[in-house]
Every structure is written in structure tokens, then in C-alpha cells.
Amino acid sequence: MSDQTRFTLNETDLPKNWYNVMADSPVPPTAVLNPITREPITPEFLSVLFPMEIIRQEVSTERYIQIPEEVREIYKLYRPTPLVRARRLEKALGTPAHIYFKNESVSPVGSHKPNTAIPQAFYNKAAGTKAMTTETGAGQWGASLAMACNFFGIDLEVYMVKISYNQKPYRRIFMQTYGAQVFASPSERTDYGRSLLARDPGNNGSLGIAISEAVEVAAASGGAKKYSLGSVLNHVLMHQTVIGEEAIKQMDLAGEYPDVVIGCVGGGSNFAGIAYPFLRQNLKDGQRTRLLAVEPTATPSLTKGTYAFDYGDTAQMAPIVKMHTLGHTFMPAGIHAGGLRYHGMAPSVSALYHAGYIEAVAVPQVGTFDAALQFTRAEGILPAPESAHAIRVAIDEALDAKAKGEKRVILFNLSGHGHFDMTAYQSYLNGELVDYEYPAHAIEEAMKDLPHVAVDV
């Protein structure tokens, strides 16, 4: 065991491959369905939205996909990211546990999202794409794709969930600084947005709605614009595995191995990014690391949702996938963790959770901010509200180890900083935040709108 606090790798240690969990997953993949025919989706359907290399990666079962050198060169702006032992937090908690965090907040935009934004922009550029569309919740994904599109000379339209558009104006300005156009969703720019605003002019939006708008714009462009997603899909989660691959090397430098790996989950990308390489070690090398996904009680797709086929968006234009879902009609409460307000969970994360290979827990908003403040005052880093969910459970694990008088090695993913989330912290410090638990009756009602799918797909 090392007495260091920071464990850093050199540029030469930057992973050369992404890890594809589908090669080793003990759970067979489920079909992805056309939202109109409800038959297995075809590459021709997907090609309206994505370049062919992205489609190939989405359906691949190769264990490793080589990272293009052009992507690795841009990764070097911030990767490898540091692994840090939170010694001051350990001391504050009086715990025998050792707490480590992978600090993804050091990227230019302050989060893990560029890990997939950069390759997605690269593959679109290689395919001749001139313009792209996307959605964003808290704005971290939108800022990341705006940066990546700027690097590759691609125009970008971002549909930002309206409540985040208003709560987080500086993230919007950040995207615009990179050259992106940003629109509050639901907007007047799409048929679907206009239909929602006609029924409810005060509609605060959701990620499902923003996805619908971005997909509509791309699909209606006649091929002039492609769509990009920041979470949920296999290729997105695979791009994020650079986090876990680096962390395995860094834990070796620390002379320890994690008993538990923790990440927050909204769509599943940052959790999968750190957890999937450790899952491989569990499956292939006999390790027994617990993999723990943390979600808000306001959006409990894993812990309270139904494992079923559902649309990926609210307007029923995106493919139908099998996932833990609160229903595509889900309208989230206005919690400050905007990146965790999606109605469903990545199909691979959902399948692995359903089969018992990963664990999940839901935590309330106020306790999450309590943990964020404790972490900030001990370690000096202000976490994003999303990342604070992982911190909450890391602290809970450390206190549990203290109560049991046992050593426990805890690793969590600090997926982003909170420098653009100061209104959330202001609300917390003013005592204005409240806890919200999504009601079971709302989930039951939403299940009535699930698509009817043949059982043999």
C-alpha cells in the first residue's frame, strides 16, 4: 500500500482500446426495435441518425475497439486523469476505509463527457457530416459535444431541458462559446416541441422530450444533420471505459484493489465507464468487487422502474430498447441533478442489474448535498450535483466500514465539478432544497403506455 495521495499516469499509459462489455457479458443482448414496425432495427434505419462506424460499434461484440490516434491526441489534453486518495475525507469521517476517487472533473469542460463526445465527432467528421444535433440535461454533455464539434469543424444544435436552461445559464453560455446553438426544450423549432407547448406553455421539459426534438431535427434534415447521444447506448458506454482502464492501473500503483466501485447513474455512461473494466476483472479473473450504481429518489429507474421494452424518447421516435424504465411519459421533478433526470437506464446496465451483477441504491437530494459539502470542505473540490450522489454512497460505505470496524477500499467516479451549479448550492445553503420521492402510482400509470412487443424478440 502506497502512502501517496495522487496516482498519475503518463500520456504513454493512455489506453489504446475501449473495452466492450458485450464481449464478456453473461447476459445475452436484447433486441433493439424499430419504433414504428417494432421489428429488430436495421442499419438503414440507424444510418439516418448515425455514421456507419458508430453503428458498427453499437452492435459489436469485439472485446476491444481500437481508439483512433486522432482521438487519443485530443484525449491527451486531459487524460490520463488522476486517481486521488481522499485522505482528508477519511480523517474527517474517522473511518478505517480507504477512499479513492477518479477525478474526471479535470477535462476542459469539467466532466467525463468528452470521452465519448470526441470520438463521436471524429467519426461524424470522417463520414462527411457537416452538422449535428443533440440534447442535454445539466449541460455537461452539450458542452462536451460543442467542444468536440468545434475541434472538428461541425455545426451543432443543442436542445437543453428547459428547467436546466434556466437554472444553469453559464453552461448554456459555455456551449455558445464553443459555437453551438442552444435552444430551451420543448422549443418552437420542432413539431413535437410546438405540440407540447400548445398543451402546456410552462412545460419544463425532460431529457426524453429533448431527445425527441434533437432526433426530429436530424431525421427531417434529409441526411444533412446527424444525431449524437451522450449516454445509454452501447458505443457511448464503451467510449467511457477509458476511465476504468486507467483506474485499474492506478489502483495497482496504490497497491490496493477496490472492494466497491461506485458511480452515479442517469443514463449509465459514467458508471459503466468506471465499472465495466472492473466487471471484466470479476468475470475473467475471479475478483469480487461490488459495483454500485447510485440514482436520485426522484428518478429511481433502476430501484423502482420496470424492466421492459420502452421508447428511448417521449415522442416515440427513438428506438425501443429493453431497460429499467419509469415510462417514456415520465416528467421529472425539478431536482438540481439535471443529468440524472432520464426516464430509463442503459440497456446493458439494466440487464446486468436485473441479473444481479451490479447493485443499485437511490438517495435523496438533501442528503446528497450534505455529502457534497462534506467532500468539498475536506478535499477542496466542489462536485457536480450528479457526482455528489456517488459521494453520498461512498461516505455511507466508509461509515458502514467504521461501524463494523473493518477496512474497506472504496473507489468512486467524480464525474464532474460543480462550478456551473452554484444556483443549486445557493438553494442548498439557503435551506430551500427539499427531498422528493417519485410516487409508485405514477410509475404504475406510466406502464400502461409501454409499447406492446412480441415476447420472442
Amino acid identity, residue 380? G
Considering only CA atoms, which of 137, 145, 135, 128 is closest in space to residue 190? 135
339 vs 25 pLDDT, higher one: 25
- pLDDT tens-digit series, residues 207-242: 889 999 999 999 999 889 999 999 999 999 999 999
Tell me whether residue 98 is in a domain. Answer: yes
pLDDT band at 268 (very low <50, low <70, confident <90, very high): very high
Q: Mean pLDDT throughout 78-97?
A: 98
The per-residue pLDDT for 455 is 59
The per-residue pLDDT for 456 is 56
Q: Mean pLDDT throughout 301-320?
A: 91
pLDDT band at 451 (very low <50, low <70, confident <90, very high): very high
Does residue 338 have a pLDDT over 70?
no
The CATH number assigned to the domain holding 370 equals 3.40.50.1100
449 vs 243 pLDDT, higher one: 243
Domains contained in the chain, number? 1
Query: Using CA atoms, how far apart are residues 277 and 258, in angstroms rounded to an integer?
Result: 12
Query: Using CA atoms, how far apart are residues 383 and 387, in angstroms rounded to an integer?
Result: 6
Q: At what angle do helices 385-404 and 365-379 cross, to 10 degrees?
A: 80
| Cα torsion through 325, 328, 330, 332, rounded to 10 | 80
Q: Mean pLDDT throughout 62-84?
A: 98
Q: What are phi and psi of 296, to 5 degrees?
A: -75, 150
The contacts of residue 173 (CB under 8 Å, 6+ apart) are none
pLDDT band at 418 (very low <50, low <70, confident <90, very high): very high
Tell me whether residue 281 is in a domain. Answer: yes
Max Cα distance, the chain (Å): 63
Tell me whether residue 222 is in a domain. Answer: no
- pLDDT tens-digit series, residues 123-182: 999 999 999 999 998 789 999 999 999 999 999 999 999 988 988 889 999 999 999 999
Query: Using CA atoms, how far apart are residues 259 and 245, in angstroms rounded to an integer?
Result: 16
Question: Which residue shows C-alpha cell 465495466?
Answer: 276
Please state, for a pLDDT cut of 70, what percent of the chain lies above it: 98
Considering only CA atoms, which of 456, 444, 324, 337 is closest in space to residue 392? 337
The per-residue pLDDT for 296 is 95
- pLDDT tens-digit series, residues 241-265: 999 999 999 999 999 999 999 999 9
Considering only CA atoms, which of 384, 382, 403, 301 is closest in space to residue 339? 384
Q: Mean pLDDT throughout 191-196?
A: 96
Tell me whether residue 100 is in a domain. Answer: yes
Per DSSP, 416 falls in state B
Query: Using CA atoms, how far apart are residues 232 and 269, in angstroms rounded to an integer?
Result: 6
Q: Report yes or no: 303 and 295 within 8 Å, Cβ to Cβ.
A: yes
Tell me whether residue 55 is in a domain. Answer: no
Highest mean pLDDT, choosing among 291-300, 337-346, 439-448: 291-300
Structural domain of residue 78, as residue ranges?
6-14+68-110+238-449
Does residue 332 have a pLDDT over 80?
no
State the average pLDDT for the chain: 94
79 vs 222 pLDDT, higher one: 79
Per DSSP, 447 falls in state G
Does residue 1 have a pLDDT over 80?
no
Tell me whether residue 131 is in a domain. Answer: no
The contacts of residue 61 (CB under 8 Å, 6+ apart) are 20, 22, 23
Q: Mean pLDDT throughout 442-453?
A: 90
* Kind and range of the H or E run holding 157: strand 155-161
Q: Render 56-77 in DSSP notation, one character per residue.
A: HHHH---SEEEPPHHHHHHHTT
Task: Give how far Cα 265 sits from Cα of 53, 157, 295, 331, 362, Å.
Answer: 26, 25, 5, 17, 10
Tell me whether residue 34 is in a domain. Answer: no
Tell me whether residue 432 is in a domain. Answer: yes
Q: Mean pLDDT throughout 385-406?
A: 97
Question: Which residue shows C-alpha cell 477525478?
Answer: 103
Q: Mean pLDDT throughout 47-61?
A: 95
Does residue 381 have a pLDDT over 90?
yes
